[in-house]
Amino acid sequence: MNFIRNTFAAIMGLGIAGLIITLGIRAFPQWVTFDAFAPFEHWQRFLQSMQNNDAFFGFLLFISGLGTTVGGVVTAIIVKYAKVAYAILIGFIMLFIAMLDVIIFPYHPTFYKVSIFLTFFPFAWMGGKIVEIIYERKKKRRIAEKMNKS
């Protein structure tokens, strides 16, 4: 049963991270160079048009970190054990996807290629750590309440 729960948690975390990143890109209409919402069909042309726009790639790093953090939080909330480890798994999978993007579409600036390694793992770890700290505080509060009742 834990396998199904953990798999569902990873899929949910990846889905939410991907949704946040996609919506973040769509947030600025001046960056969107295509009419229909089909990001995979237009991604190469879109990256070519953004090739000299460092602000876009900086924002993409920020929104990727935010999405990975929220995806890590969702994953850590759903899994029962090893919350931080599963959140880091989300970061690893997102890093793998970003590396594929950089390899397939060579229109990314060098600072982006280097920074993706420094973005996904720490932000995913932070998402898992947030949930772990919240759960630990709740646990300590319950123990303290039990001790006060005695």
Whole-prediction pTM: 0.85
Distance CA 35, CA 26 (A): 11
Distances from the Cα of 120 to the Cα of 94, 95, 101, angstroms: 7, 6, 14
Residue-wise pLDDT for 1-58, tens only, equals 789 999 999 999 999 999 999 888 878 767 666 555 555 666 777 777 777 778 888 9
Residue-wise pLDDT for 56-107, tens only, equals 889 989 999 999 999 999 999 999 999 999 999 999 999 999 999 899 888 8
The whole-number pLDDT of residue 48 equals 76
The whole-number pLDDT of residue 57 equals 87
Distance CA 86, CA 92 (A): 10
Element (H or E) spanning 63, and its range? helix 54-78
Provide the domain limits for residue 126. Answer: 2-149
Sequence letter at residue 80: K
Query: What's the maximum distance between 2 C-alpha atoms anywhere in the chain?
Result: 67
Distance CA 35, CA 42 (A): 10
Quote the number of domains for the chain: 1
